[in-house]
Amino acid sequence: MAPAAGDDFVFRFIETPAEPGYRAFSRHGWNAVELIVARVDALALRLAASPFEIVDPPMDLSFCPDIRAMQIRGPGGEIIYLTEFKKQVPGLDAPPARCEVDRAFIVIACGSSLDAMQDFYATRFDVPRTPALESRVQTMALEFGLSREHRFRIAALPLGGNCYIEADEMPAAARPLPAEQHELPPGIAIVSFLGVPQAATDGISCIRGAAGELLEIIPR
């Protein structure tokens, strides 16, 4: 499925056996995807009577009041951020919302060490390291019985094309992904990256990141 405004991003849905008790932001790996939207408060009204669960209503981000976002849970347990930029934010070049709900511009990977995640992407794909921020991640806070105002160490790693990987450092109680897994993980199972230099992949089309997240590599 693609946004109405273009075909530069798609969701790919894969049917797999359900994992009983799965909750996003309870363990390492990919945990959410962030979509750019035109008017998040209007979307909240529309989604109130929809099959999506509203996890967090629209709220300005703790570190930047010019960004307003809400979080919803989809039918596979996936968490989706719907994010509106009230105006451009220096240092975070987001794409414009070309339609009511537009493309993904951030995917969120969570692990035990923010530094290890930054090191992986910097070493393997030459992604610049960025300073850590202290930010609310309310869905994760609720999973671990923490205050909604709890701050986690996060960093937005720039990929080009106004896209980012957000790396979130999880509490010590978060579960790692299994070392061997015969099915795709539930929720956001895998993220595909287009245009990666062949030299960075060693000819491998699917690799794991520092938090166990699965990356599908589509080389130039």
Predicted TM-score (pTM) of the model is 0.92
**pLDDT value of residue 78:** 95
**pLDDT value of residue 102:** 96
Gap between the Cα atoms of 202 and 14, Å rounded:
26
Gap between the Cα atoms of 129 and 195, Å rounded:
20
Angle at 31 between CA 120 and CA 24, to 5 degrees: 140
Q: With a cut of 70, list the residues of the chain below it in pLDDT.
A: 198-201
**pLDDT value of residue 30:** 98
**pLDDT value of residue 141:** 94
The CATH fold assigned to 29-177 is 2,3-Dihydroxybiphenyl 1,2-Dioxygenase; domain 1 (3.10.180)
Least Cα distance to 32 among 205, 178, 167 occurs for 167
Q: Which helix (H) or strand (E) holds 41?
A: helix 40-47
**pLDDT value of residue 197:** 72
